Amino acid sequence: METQIFSYVQEKMSYEGNMLARLAMPTRQEVENAILTTLFLHNGTIKEFAVGESIVNEIADKFALNDEQRAAVLERIYRKDNRIVKTPLWHRLLYRAADALAKERLVTRPTSTVLLTNKREWMLTEKGFDAALELLGISSEQKDVLPIKSFEVQKEVKKIVETPCPENYNPLGHGNNKKIATKNLTLRARGFRQAVIESYDYRCCLCGLKLPTPNQTAWEVEAAHIVPRSSNGKDDIWNGIALCRIHHWAFDVGWFTLTDDWRLLVSSKIQDIPASFGIVNDYDYFRNTLLQNRQILLPSSQSLYPHKNSIAWHRKHLFYEQ
């Protein structure tokens, strides 16, 4: 019996191997690398390799596969009811490469990812993120600023957005945030950034700017701490808002703050800015986006709104009122 099984498997592998060789298909290692870099360029997740999914053709395009290579089908007999099962060769190669990556813990399978995100997707792990950076020749130092999803960071995001807010929330942490970051603290910081920008739909809550990089791997918007980390502010969703770079700077230096009902409170010093300052071409950008009493854009869930205790701290310690 064992000999028969071995013979059948050997025959099956020979048939498939001959097809791969005859059609000059990419090697599994090449496909594994392509999947990792594609995951990176899709912010860390791609859909399952089902028939009709655009990701299947996107990766095929990387190898410039011809029509015959894309359409080739494996045929095997399903012994239980003696019927022929047809499997697209390219899909099988993709799945086998992804499965190998999962075994090496470079990606998570859709069956695992769905339990975390409710989406059936392949997702980078931290180890896979590092491998993708190396393949793309990107410095590992960029890891902490790129909003590429990883399974470990998304676990932090889930924890951040689903943790109930304490009745009397304290935005100040215990201990010193200037200590050398451990792995867990780094994941928490990246989870905070991801949770904030996702909650605000990747747009500045003040001016509404929503702008990705040309390769879609990063967003212009930043996750701003209301109580800064330099003042021991926590990496909690209630201590964060999403701001574009110029408004992040303006918030940090005290040009504006927020009221308890999330409206703009603008420093009176704005009247002293020379008329030629804050202008983009002929548009008075700075003054026209800092409109007194205008409500900011907020997350869809009130449980993710900035906490009044965080805002009160900012008004008291950073806002330049006089």
Same domain, 313 and 184: yes
CA dihedral sign of residues 142, 145, 146, 150: positive
Quote the pLDDT of residue 97.
Answer: 97
Quote the pLDDT of residue 144.
Answer: 79
Q: Which residues of the chain have pLDDT under 50?
A: 1-11, 177-180
Domain assignment present for 101: yes
Domain assignment present for 119: yes
Same domain, 68 and 203: no
pTM of the model: 0.83
What's the token pair of residue 192? 């905070």
Last residue of a domain, one of 119, 140, 161: 140
The domain in which residue 90 lies consists of 2-140
Quote the pLDDT of residue 84.
Answer: 73
Domain assignment present for 82: yes
Same domain, 136 and 157: no
What's the token pair of residue 93? 């190669």
Domain assignment present for 302: yes
Quote the pLDDT of residue 216.
Answer: 75
Q: What are phi and psi of 258, to 5 degrees?
A: -125, 150
Same domain, 167 and 274: yes
Domain assignment present for 145: no
Same domain, 200 and 308: yes
User: What is the Cβ-side half-sphere exposure of residue 187, based on CA atoms within 13 angstroms?
Assistant: 18
Same domain, 98 and 168: no
Same domain, 100 and 120: yes
Give me Rg for the CA atoms of the chain: 26
CA distance 22 to 17: 9
Same domain, 159 and 109: no
What's the token pair of residue 134? 């190396």
Domain assignment present for 128: yes
What's the token pair of residue 35? 């999947």
- Residue 314: CB partners within 8 Å, gap ≥ 6? 226, 227, 251, 257, 258
52: left (phi over 0), alpha (psi -120 to 50) or beta: left
CA dihedral sign of residues 38, 41, 47, 50: negative
Same domain, 134 and 219: no
CA distance 171 to 162: 17
Task: Using DSSP, state whether 186 is helix, strand or coil.
Answer: helix
CB–CB of 72/19 below 8 Å? yes
Same domain, 218 and 107: no
CA dihedral sign of residues 237, 238, 239, 243: positive
Q: Which residue is associated with the tokens 């989406």? A: 119
Same domain, 214 and 232: yes
Domain assignment present for 90: yes
Q: What are phi and psi of 242, to 5 degrees?
A: -95, 125
Task: Using DSSP, state whether 45 is helix, strand or coil.
Answer: strand
- Residue 2: CB partners within 8 Å, gap ≥ 6? none
Give how many domains the chain has, as a whole number.
Answer: 2
Domain assignment present for 322: no
What's the token pair of residue 86? 């047809």
Quote the pLDDT of residue 247.
Answer: 97
Crossing angle of the two packed helices 126-136 and 28-41, in degrees rounded to 10:
100
Same domain, 106 and 201: no
Question: Tens of pLDDT along 42-69?
Answer: 999 999 888 788 999 999 999 999 999 9
20: left (phi over 0), alpha (psi -120 to 50) or beta: alpha
Quote the pLDDT of residue 34.
Answer: 98
Question: Tens of pLDDT along 136-177?
Answer: 999 988 887 888 999 999 999 999 999 999 989 999 986 554
